[in-house]
Structure 1
Amino acid sequence: MVPRKSGAFDSIVEREQGLRQGLSAGQMTMIAIGGAVGTGLFLGSGFAIGFAGPGVLVSYAIGALIALLLMGALAEMTVAHPTSGSFGAYAEHYIGPLAGFVVRYAYWSAYVLAVGTEVAAIAIYMKFWLPHVPGLYWIVGFSAALIAVNAMSVKAYGTIEYLFSSLKIAAIVAFIVLGAWFVWRAPASSGVGIANYTSHGGLLPKGWWGVWVGTIVSLFSYLGVETIAVAAAEAKDPARAVTRAFRATVLRLVLFYLLTLALMLAIVPWTEAGGNESPFVKVMAETGVPYAAGAINFIVLVAALSAMNSQLYITTRMMFSLSRAGYAPALFGRLTPNGVPTAALSLSTIGIAVAAVLNALWPQAAFTLMMSIAMFGAMFTWLMIFVTQIFFRVRRARDASAPLEFRMWGFPFTSVLGALLMLGILVGTVFTREFRMTLAYGLAFLAVLVVVYALWYRRMQPATRAQESL
């Protein structure tokens, strides 16, 4: 295979022109929070608690550290090169075309399937009110509404996501305040309090291996923070928006996740918090506050819709980038007058169809199955972001490039640490019963991508010229 010359990064930016710059810094922050505060927290945390017990706090702390390192690496590259192809475009330019091809498709496939986890979760949440209505009805109805929103314009998407995320943040703050008050006022004989951290098998009832498995789920919860980088191409002031969103998002996510989990474990013993139901709903039911369980179930429903909305946006832009790079048919790189790649959006709804089928055939296992498969592409992408940033720094040092507007602290140690942690978690999935499919599916998928790339490469040069003429 003959390597293709990358050329200046400006050529990548130019071929991805046409998207509207309609997102504010505030909307960028909310988009990142909307992607990361969703089913992973409101439903996935229950599975993580089941794996790690109270040690889930350590699991989510490790996940927060990785997310923090990732955001630093990504913000550094994004401020230098704001484009919708984002980390896929960076991998193409700084590592090679094959890397860009694989990263984009791995990430796209992960989020296509992640959309399926959100709609599978929606079917679970709706059973709280209407247990006898088939989940398929909710999957189709809510999916159609969000597809319509994404087909309008980036401004419409940003507005809806801002509202969704604002509601989630308000609800989480209310949960923290109410939970703290409930724990503070609970009598010693109530079974509520920090004693729950150690009264059911100790702080680490499943040992350190349970904590590590819980970390795998925690990463699924944090996935979505990288959407800031993809959305940067449609921000009004990319450099300011990315740096502001980076700082605000990391702080809020760490506080939201760790505080809510700490309160949750204090109110309900970890042996009762896990399972195929949102632990948030269980906790609110335990407080005895009228209608609290119903209210929080509405919030977790909104959270799933918000995350799904964000994921549809991300998969659409990644497919758009693939098309403009010559790695997908030209149809997916075309824009409507409103600046929306609707063909790419249509293709990115595949995960909804998969979730609908799984929910119809195996309603109890649909969410965990979708999550285990979706996680590979996302975790592989996170690993490659750290690797790409190392190449990015080496290239800039070699070329004596202009100083960076935003620099990640502690380089190269922070980037190497992030890459090693991600590699360890990916390899660790092999030794778990619940996520054994993750790496098996992922390696097979990567092999297929490499073969497809090798066969496609002979005609990619003329295809790329055709894309750039759009």
Structure 2
Amino acid sequence: MENLNRESGLKRELKTGQLTMMAMGCAIGTGLFLGSGLAIGTAGPGVLISYGVGAIIVLLLMGCLAEMTVAHPTSGAFGTIAEKYISPWAGFIVRYSYWMSNVLAVGVEVSAIAVYMNYWFPNVPGIVWILFFAIVLIYVNSTNVHTFATFEYWFSMIKVSAIVLFILLGAYILVGGPEESKAGFENFANSGQFMPFGWWGIWVAVFISLFSFLGTEQIAVTAGEAKEPDVAVPKALKATVFRLSSFYVLTMAIMLLIVPWQTAGVDKSPFVKVMEILNIPGASGIMNFIILTAALSAMNSQLYASTRLMYSLSLEKQAPAVLGKVSKKGIPTWALIISTLGIFVAAGVNAVLPDSSYAFMMGISMFGSIFTWLMIFVSHLFFRKQWEKNGGRKLPVKMIGFPYLTILGGVLLLSLIVTTWFTPFKMMLQFGIPWLIFLVIAYWIWKKKNVNRHGRTETAAKKFVHKG
């Protein structure tokens, strides 16, 4: 087996529980706490179907990813696999697209953090909080992977605990809550319709649901630093998909049973509405703290992922060599520094578009992740055939229904990407298509430069031998 592991400087210290919590920590963020209202407003009560379809797509994706990651546990993850099994240009484009997506996502989260802190400190400029939390998380990411994982574990634990508490409180309202709450199954059919916007609304909401699942694929990035990846990675992927699917579907169902779908997300988070029904003192402050934690957790994971991806690009000689150097603690420090660019991009966008900077940053950051998901399905089609043809070892996890389920996942995802052109998410393709064109040109220039350099070196060697 060729494990493509050129990352000998990284420490293998991550355990199954840490991998699972890191993936959940990145996925459970503003997509659930804030995006749920948008999803409900797009599909109505039928959003439950949307999240179900989204969970199926993610389940297919994780099946493909688990098999390939166990075969090649490397921080280059899907970029390294795309390079090996499709072509070098595919690896180049996937790596840089996913790296840019995470860099921009760091900017998205840190912009949101400034807004959340304004709730408690309205007189403190947002830039102060942007810099403060940026410094804290850069420090966490620059110490060692164990410290990073510990922080992320507890960040995620707070969010998961909050969701479990929310589900329990929601169940209490449904069973024995105040009569004025008007909670019940009749809220599923307010205005007489379970699907007020038809199948189109449900289909568009599938795309919104996928935003809530983004981040689960980061287990593949962390595999390069996982203890016993053959065991840890499959377990972490299965646990993540099961828990996220259960949390999201249960949470959305409880919201729809308690809060009329027409009001969800119009003026505030559906989570806050449910807590207001319970008349819990300081409910909005509690929710603000949870959302702040969600943003910090997502930012932490995204900074980690973008750092490891840039480190991998350097080892592949597709980025400056200095970005591949690691500290004595096993941290690629220079890759970490350049991956903080999203923070400055967010600050610049906020200065130009103060009222819509968060939505703008979110729109352009989504393309890289969704495109990477699509390429994971494509890579798996190439991977399985070549792995079996070359007599690769028997893997402890294998995607079932190959190639049909792999193709199904890819077709569903591609259809959703095309759909965005006819929705308010059109911005994603308006950014993504030029970005891909730019990367193709950049790869062509990089390849030409490296081929010429290789040719000159080879010619010089021949002359030296001839003279000798």
The corresponding residue for 2:463 is: none
1:140-151 equivalences in 2 (<5 Å): 140-151=131-142
Which letter does structure 1 place at the counterpart of 2:435? Answer: F
Instruction: Tell me what 1:454 maps to.
Output: 444
Alpha-carbon distance in structure 1 between the residues aligned to 2:195 and 2:403: 33
* Inter-CA distance 127–378: structure 2 relative to 1 (3 Å threshold): same
Aligned to 2:90: 99
The one-letter amino acid of 2:434's match is: A
Give 1:125 deviation, angstroms: 2.6
- Partners of 1:89 and 1:47 in 2: how far apart? 35
Gaps of 5+ in 1: 1-7, 465-470
Matches within 5 A, 1:47-446: 47-131=38-122, 133-186=124-177, 190-200=181-191, 202-275=193-266, 277-432=268-423, 434-446=424-436
Contact between 1:323 and 1:329, CA under 8 Å: does it hold in 2?
yes
In 2: Cα distance, 1:455 partner to 1:463 partner:
12
Contact 1:124/1:277 (8 A) holds in 2? no
Q: Note the alpha carbon deviations across 1:156-177, whole angstroms, 9 max, x for none.
A: 1001001111111111111100
Deviation, 1:405, is 1.8
Task: Give 1:461 deviation, angstroms.
Answer: 6.0
Query: What runs of 5+ residues in structure 2 fail to find an aligned partner?
Result: 455-468
Instruction: Give the C-alpha shift of residue 366 in structure 1.
Output: 2.0
- The amino acid that maps onto 1:318 is L
Decide whether aligned partners of structure 1 residues 368 and 52 sit closer, same or farther in structure 2, where only a CA change above 3 A counts.
farther
Distance 1:276 1:311 in 2: 29
* Distance in structure 2 (CA, Å) of the matches to 1:463 and 1:332: 21
The answer on whether the counterparts of 1:326 and 1:463 sit within 8 Å (CA) in structure 2 is no
Q: What is the identity, as a one-letter code, of the residue corresponding to 2:297?
A: S
- What whole-Å deviation, never above 9, does each CA across 1:71-90 have from its counterpart, x for those lacking one? 11000011111011010000
Deviations 1:365-397 (A, max 9, x none): 222211111111111100000010110011122
Give the corresponding residue for 2:464.
Answer: none
SS in structure 2 at match of 1:199: helix
Contact 2:34 2:265 in 1 (8 A): no
Q: Describe the shift of the 1:165–1:130 C-alpha distance in structure 2 as closer, same or farther (beyond 3 A).
A: same
Mapped contact 1:56–1:214 kept (Cα < 8 A): yes
Aligned length: 454
| Percent of pairs with identical residues | 53
Could you list the per-position Cα deviations for residues 151-207 of structure 1 after superposition, in whole angstroms to 9, with x for gaps in the alignment?
Answer: 111111001001111111111111100111112224665422222121146222222
Distance 2:450 2:259 in 1: 57
**Separation of aligned partners in 2, 1:225 and 1:19:** 21
Structure-1 residue corresponding to 2:5: 13
User: Once the 2 structures are TM-superposed, how far is the Cα of residue 359 of structure 1 from its aligned partner?
Assistant: 2.9
Residues of 2 paired with 1:420 and 1:69: CA distance? 12
Which aligned runs of 4 or more in structure 1 are off by greater than 4 angstroms?
461-464
Give the Cα–Cα distance (whole angstroms) in 1 for the partners of residues 347 and 305 of structure 2. 21
Which segment is superposed worse, 88-97 or 112-121? 112-121
Residue identity opposite 2:55 in structure 1: A
Q: Write the letter of the residue equivalent to 1:448.
A: F
2-side partners of 1:133 and 1:214: how far apart? Answer: 37
Q: CA deviation at 1:463?
A: 8.5
Q: CA separation of 1:234/1:453 partners in 2, compared to 1, >3 Å: closer, same or farther? A: same
Contact 1:282-1:293 within 8 A present in 2 as well: no
After TM superposition, the score normalised by the length of structure 2 is: 0.93
Q: 1:232 to 1:191 in 2, by over 3 A?
A: same
TM-score, normalisation: structure 1: 0.92
Give the alignment's Cα RMSD to 1 decimal. 1.9
Aligned partner letter, 2:349: L
Letter in 2 for 1:175: F
Using a 3 Å threshold, how does the CA distance of structure 1 residues 253 and 115 change in structure 2: closer, same or farther? Answer: same
